[in-house]
């Protein structure tokens, strides 16, 4: 019996891994055991596994950085003609195991070539400038493949397809020579983008141009096996080049604010534009008024779009720019310590209409030109939306809704700061109104009884006075 127990214990000990065998050993002894094991693994000139994993991770990171899509753009901005035209060079790397014989480009402006679904008589004045569709779109020409010193070869079999039911938003073309795995090539194309006349994140109003995303051809996304998908690529990308524009208006490209002097032409570099899906944003208007304020080491630049039909408020109201800058200062000072801020924060007003804020890039916040143009009692929701837009890109781990809720608790004036808080408060108010209506359902009958009794008392008092006289 004893011999059998000893055999079973020995078998269990042998079956355990080395780490489990030394679980009860002193930490110093365990370190010596692990060190000896590492030395044994290093015999023969091989490096330890931890060092090899570190080197492999560094190589993979540098390799992914080298394989990131790169756009080189030379564009001309003409707000009067509602166009952005030029040429783009797209560096493409085949990071799959199969040859790549096809290229897919996303033409986002073609989404606005026809009528948009869901527009009715109520929303039409807030979408179309004159309640009429003035379409936009993008055309590309001379799509070529360039590889090293070889002459350029045009792509063949160019055909249009649809993304999510929007015709013409995807273009596929066949390469004359397949791109081998690991090889890199450049796709060259000339494009001309016409912006529609509409409010929102992509369009032109009377004197304001707004193109936040996709104003040049973008590579489509690919799956794990390298097949092209009917969706834009939102992976890492770098943008370089220049945007040429005529003078007479303030132009924002990425986080660069260019204000011409005496109508001089502008050449705005794209090298410093933030890398965001869809490329750097472009905004232009001759009515922009610049305001600057330094807060906690961050330079805040506010481009105010003065309202042509400003609402009338009570006397003593501070200027609109002061109201917005004060709200931004409260938002910045109330941020968590873990949330960093860029050295420069550019806040630009634009005619969004149906939205209070727009998707922005690091260092750039696009808000409606009607933000905070309300009575002070109604600013709470605007301040929460502004806070969510400021930290949409600055905070990576926390959601904008959670941050806006925190802004709502800290900023002051009982700022609610999120749509959920607004909806809960609205539901509470509606329940109170229902209770009030239930309590006052017989209000007219009670008023009638009260008025009749009052009239009877008055007539009785009048009769008594007449009898005394």
Q: Following CA atoms 408, 414, 420, 426 in sequence, which dihedral angle do they give, to the nearest 10 degrees?
A: -170
CB atoms within 10 A of CB 427: 10
| Residue 297 φ then ψ, to 5° | 80, 0
Has residue 10 been placed in a domain? no
Q: Write down the pLDDT at residue 309.
A: 59
For the chain, how many structural domains are there in total? 4
The sheet carrying 209-211 orders its strands as: 202-204, 209-211, 282-285, 250-253, 256-258
360: left (phi over 0), alpha (psi -120 to 50) or beta: beta
CATH classification of the domain holding 147: 2.60.40.1730
Same domain, 443 and 363: no
95 and 229 co-located in one domain = yes
Task: Tell me whether residue 463 is in a domain.
Answer: yes
Residue 444 is predicted with a pLDDT of: 39
> Phi/psi class of residue 19: alpha, beta or left (left: φ > 0; alpha: ψ in -120 to 50)?
alpha
First to last CA, the chain: 129
Pair (359, 251) in one structural domain:
no
Beta pairing class for 237-245 and 266-269: antiparallel
The CA-based dihedral angle spanning residues 305, 306, 308, 313, taken in that order and rounded to the nearest 10 degrees: 130
pTM over 0.75: no
Residues 239 and 273 in one domain: yes
Mean pLDDT in runs of 10 for the chain (469 residues)?
A: 47 43 40 39 42 41 57 95 96 88 94 90 91 94 86 90 92 92 93 96 94 93 83 81 91 89 81 69 94 91 83 71 94 83 91 89 90 86 90 52 38 33 40 46 40 50 59
Does residue 343 lie within any of the structural domains? yes
Q: Are residues 147 and 231 in the same domain?
A: yes
Is 11 within a domain? Answer: no
User: Do 71 and 59 share a structural domain?
Assistant: no
Does one domain contain both 404 and 264? no
Residues 434 and 451 in one domain: yes
3-state secondary structure of 449: helix
In a domain, 321, yes or no: yes
Half-sphere exposure in the Cβ direction for 363 (13 Å, CA):
18
What is the reported pLDDT for 265?
86
33 is a domain residue = yes
- For residue 39, how far is the Cα from the chain centroid? 50
Residues 264 and 360 in one domain: no
228 and 188 belong to one structural domain: yes
Q: pLDDT value at position 362?
A: 81
Shared domain for 244 and 281, answered yes or no, is yes
Residue 48, in any domain of the structure: yes
- Asked if residue 373 and residue 327 are part of one domain, the reply reads yes
Range of the domain at 111: 67-286
Question: Considering the domain boundaries, does residue 167 fall inside one?
Answer: yes
The whole-number pLDDT of residue 233 equals 76
């Amino acid at each position: 019996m004893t011999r059998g127990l000893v055999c079973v214990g020995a078998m269990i000990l042998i079956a355990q891994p080395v780490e489990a065998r030394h679980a009860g050993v002193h930490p110093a002894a365990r370190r010596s055991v692990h060190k000896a094991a590492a030395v044994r693994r290093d015999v023969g000139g091989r490096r330890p596994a931890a060092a090899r994993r570190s080197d492999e991770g560094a190589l993979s990171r540098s390799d992914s950085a080298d394989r990131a899509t790169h756009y080189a753009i030379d564009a001309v901005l003409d707000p009067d003609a509602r166009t952005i035209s030029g040429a783009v060079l797209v560096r493409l790397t085949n990071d799959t195991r199969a040859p790549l014989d096809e290229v897919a480009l996303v033409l986002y402006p073609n989404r606005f070539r026809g009528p948009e679904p869901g527009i009715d008589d109520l929303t039409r004045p807030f979408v179309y400038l004159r309640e009429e569709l003035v379409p936009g779109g993008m055309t590309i020409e001379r799509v070529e493949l360039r590889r090293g010193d070889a002459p350029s070869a045009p792509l063949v079999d160019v055909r249009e397809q649809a993304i999510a039911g929007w015709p013409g938003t995807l273009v596929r073309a066949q390469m004359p020579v397949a791109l081998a795995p690991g090889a890199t090539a450049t796709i060259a194309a000339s494009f001309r983008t016409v912006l529609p006349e509409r409010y929102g994140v992509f369009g032109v109003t009377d004197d304001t141009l707004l193109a936040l995303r996709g104003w040049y051809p973008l590579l489509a996304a690919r799956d794990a096996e390298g097949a092209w998908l009917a969706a834009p690529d939102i992976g890492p990308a770098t943008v370089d080049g220049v945007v040429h524009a005529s003078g007479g208006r303030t132009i924002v490209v990425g986080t660069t604010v260019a204000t011409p002097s005496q109508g001089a032409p502008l050449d705005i570099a794209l090298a410093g534009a933030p890398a965001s899906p869809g490329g750097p944003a472009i905004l232009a208007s001759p009515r922009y008024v610049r305001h600057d304020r330094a807060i906690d080491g961050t330079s805040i630049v506010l481009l105010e779009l003065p309202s042509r039909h400003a609402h009338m408020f009570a006397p003593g109201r501070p200027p609109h720019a002061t109201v917005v800058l004060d709200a931004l200062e409260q938002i910045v000072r109330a941020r968590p310590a873990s949330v960093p801020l860029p050295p420069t924060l550019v806040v630009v007003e634009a005619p969004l209409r149906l939205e209070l804020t727009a998707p922005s890039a690091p260092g750039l916040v696009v808000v409606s030109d009607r933000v905070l143009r309300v009575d002070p009692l109604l600013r709470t929701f605007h301040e929460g939306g502004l806070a969510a837009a400021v930290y949409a890109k600055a905070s990576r781990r926390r959601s904008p809704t959670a941050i806006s809720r925190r802004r709502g608790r800290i900023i002051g004036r009982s700022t609610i700061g999120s749509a959920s808080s607004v909806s809960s408060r609205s539901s509470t108010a509606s329940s109170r109104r229902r209770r009030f209506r239930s309590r006052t359902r017989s209000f007219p009958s009670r008023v009638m009884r009260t008025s009749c009794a009052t009239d009877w008392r008055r007539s009785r008092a009048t009769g008594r006075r007449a009898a005394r006289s």
